[in-house]
Amino acid sequence: MKVARLDGLVRHLILAGFSASIALPLLWVLRVSLTDKLTAYRLPPEIGQIGLHNFVEVLTQYDFTRWFGNSVFVAVLATAISLPAAAMMAYATARYRTGGWPLMMMVLSSQMIPPIVLVLPMFLVFTTLMPVPGIIAITIAHVAINLPFMAWIMISFFDEDTRSLEEAARCDGATRWQAFTRVTIPVAMPGIIAAGLLGFILSWNEFLYALILGNHSSQTLAVGLASLETHAGVNIAPLAAATLLALAPVLILLPFLQKYLIKGLSLGALK
Amino acid sequence: MASIQLNSVSRIYGQGASAVHAVKGIDLQIEDGEFMIFLGPSGCGKSTTLRMIAGLEPVSQGDLLIDGQRVNDVDPAERDLAIVFQNYALYPHMSVRQNMAFGLKLRGTPGPEIESRIAGVAETLGIRPLLDRKPSQLSGGQRQRVALGRALVREPRAFLLDEPLSNLDAKLRSVMRTELIKLHRKLGTTMIHVTHDQVEAMTMGTRICIMRGGEIVQVGKPQDVYRDPADTFVAGFLATPPMNLIPARIEAAGEGLAVIAPGLSVPVPEAYRAAYAPYTGREVILGIRPEDLFETPEGAAPAAIDCSIETVEALGPETILNVKLGQGGSELAARLPAEGDWEVARQIRLFADSLRMHLFDPETTRKIAR
């Protein structure tokens, strides 16, 4: 009995350690966002005078709403374009071995190459195609990053189980497309939603392409937040407030989509 | 209702030297209203053949005809056949009612007719209380019924059953076996049932098609195939325990012939003498069914067999004895009445009815005609 209690205690201590390592930076940011620059740097940490002045400053004195709008535009559009395409690509790869292993390797290698390697070629391509690359260029770049990533996640969703469901549908009188849209897609939906969510977060947080391909008017949140680090110093308190505001959509979405994320990511792995 | 004809049908995976011939040019005629069983071990090509009939696998060579019409290139949706899969393949996001209505809706059946058909089939299969449940809320047996219901409600030209009973427990399997037989009798629709279970094959089908290595070994009524197996594979595959197959020789014995093996001498009945005479002095394989061994002399030409008991399997209504022939001979299984007092290692004398023996050519493994 004692051993079991000790075992439980050790487990909880380990879990508490991990939780703290994730939660502490966020709590630190929250503290900084509610205080002022001077208090923010004080050690040992102090709470100081708490207020929402940093949030007000971010929303009134910076282009925060534009950054936010740009991020929403890019992330939503990139996800909306890449998700159906990735679903069909994953389906074709899983069901018909389209492209064989060379395509699979290409998909995988696109995730292994450091983004910095692709930035310059992509910049050259976009400056050739359009006079000033902007938000559309960032969106297209995000589609290019997201599509193979989402497809790779979704391949396992179109496994043997969905194959026999599809065959049943085809014998029931469905065409290949009807079987795909009315049976395979609904069955794989938790996984597709999970892939979409991960793709959205990837696009929302993406910095490098948004920085290189964007201009002043097309700055996304990640680039905008970085601009708060000026040569005159880091504007730490408004930066913390802006960071929390930037996290808000993901934090709001996550509880709603958590069930899909867990169900979706375990799809294909569990029977 | 449909008749199905396979003319030199093959299914080949891959190309060139690495090509795998899963089905090798089979010919088969399945009559309208027949209950055909495809029986064979794993990898024999029975499921592939069924899937070719369903249209889920392309026919690599040969012709597949349904009601005399070549359907090689016809989409599964247009063949109007219903298939019940081993894993049932119920649409998990739909209720039982929606699962059953799916095929009818795709065919544009009017709503009231869909409802009345579902109600009728649900009544027949006893699944009416399950209509609003999702497949995940059903037991294995209930899922099996729903899968069957989904096929029935469409009133297809033929039913294709791909090992639908193999995931059920023994008791439920027996119940469903009987229900399928009754259903076939009631509907009279062509049914093709794929199984590796010999009991299903023997009890359900009007004919059995036994396959091995992508080829058809024998087609016939269950009892005909059982009584007259085409080769040692069929003889050894059907029934549990299977036919005893003993390496032997045919020797001249006085004026007649005898099948000789270590510890065994079975005189060839006069009726078979002419057929077996060309094999005199040659190796053969003697086949004796376990139920053709008796404690007392039976039949017109009984042959005594001295042996010792190796194991005793008391099954209740009968006992299976595994015995060993004398002089280092083969082991045999004998199906005997339960009443006997059997002890391991005891020497006993059994009698084989030599009129019921089978001889096979060891080179071709085919049965020697008599």
Query: Which sequence spans correspond to the domains of chain B?
Result: 238-360
DSSP A18: H
Q: In A36-184, where does DSSP find H-type helix? A: 37-40, 53-61, 64-96, 100-112, 115-129, 135-154, 160-171, 176-179
CATH class of residue range B238-360: mainly beta
Place of tokens 């923010």: A40
Do A146 and A188 form a contact (C-beta atoms < 8 A)? no
Q: Is B263 left (phi over 0), alpha (psi -120 to 50) or beta?
A: left
Tell me what pLDDT residue B365 has: 93
Is pLDDT of B287 > 60?
yes
Q: Does B154 touch chain A (CB under 8 A)?
A: yes
Is pLDDT of A268 > 50?
no
Residues of chain A with pLDDT > 90, as a percent, come to 32
User: Above 0.90 for ipTM, yes or no?
Assistant: no
DSSP A267: B
SS3 A126: helix
Which of A161, A164, A171 should be substituted to probe chain B, the one whose Cβ sees the most B Cβ atoms within 10 Å? A171
Tell me what pLDDT residue A269 has: 41
Q: What is the pLDDT of residues A187-235, one digit of tens each?
A: 888 888 888 988 998 999 999 999 999 888 889 999 998 888 777 778 8
Which of B53, B75, B107, B136 should be substituted to probe chain A, the one whose Cβ sees the most A Cβ atoms within 10 Å? B75
User: How far are the Cα atoms of A260, B118, B154, B285, B368 from residue B363, in angstroms, in the given order?
Assistant: 62, 56, 49, 10, 11
Q: Does B87 touch chain A (CB under 8 A)?
A: yes
Tell me what pLDDT residue A266 has: 61
Partner-chain contact B91 A164, CB within 8 Å: no
Q: Kindly state the tokens that stand for B96.
A: 């039982």
How far off is chain B from A233, nearest CA to CA, in Å? 56
CA nearest to B204, candidates B151, B159, B146, B142: B159
Tell me what pLDDT residue A159 has: 73
Nearest to A187 among B54, B92, B102 (CB): B92
Tell me what pLDDT residue A265 has: 63
Mean pLDDT check: name the lowest of A8-17, B165-174, B267-276: B165-174
What number of H helices and E strands is found in chain A?
13, 2
Q: What is the pLDDT of residues B133-184, one digit of tens each?
A: 999 999 888 998 899 999 999 999 999 999 988 888 888 888 888 988 998 9
Is pLDDT of B239 > 50?
yes
Residues 6+ apart with CB under 8 A from B154: A172, A173, B80, B82, B103, B104, B107
Is pLDDT of A271 > 60?
no
Angle at B225 between CA B337 and CA B369, to 5 degrees: 105
Question: Which residues does chain A have within 8 Å of residue B85's beta carbon, measured at their own beta carbons?
Answer: 164, 167-168
Q: Averaged over A19-48, what is the pLDDT?
A: 83
For residues B294 and A46, which has the higher predicted lDDT (pLDDT)? B294
Mean pLDDT check: name the lowest of A236-250, B40-54, B106-120: A236-250
Q: Kindly state the tokens that stand for B277.
A: 């005479």
Do B2 and B66 form a contact (C-beta atoms < 8 A)? yes
Q: Does B58 touch chain A (CB under 8 A)?
A: no
Partner-chain contact A171 B56, CB within 8 Å: yes
Tell me what pLDDT residue A264 has: 65
How far off is chain A from B75, nearest CA to CA, in Å? 8
Q: What is the pLDDT of residues A84-114, one digit of tens each?
A: 999 999 999 888 888 788 888 888 887 788 8
A146/A204 Cα distance (integer angstroms): 11
Partner-chain contact A170 B55, CB within 8 Å: yes
How far off is chain B from A165, nearest CA to CA, in Å? 5
Residue of B nearest to A173 (CA): B77
Number of alpha carbons in the 13 Å side-chain half-sphere of residue A267: 29
A201/A192 Cα distance (integer angstroms): 14
Write down the pTM of the prediction: 0.79
CA nearest to B71, candidates B3, B25, B156, B151: B3
Q: What is the number of other CB atoms lying within 10 angstroms of the CB of residue B116?
A: 11
Mean pLDDT of chain A: 86
Is pLDDT of B48 > 70?
yes
Place of tokens 């929250």: A30
Q: Averaged over B263-291, what is the pLDDT?
A: 91
- pLDDT grade for B313, boundaries at 50, 70 and 90: very high
Tell me what pLDDT residue A1 has: 60
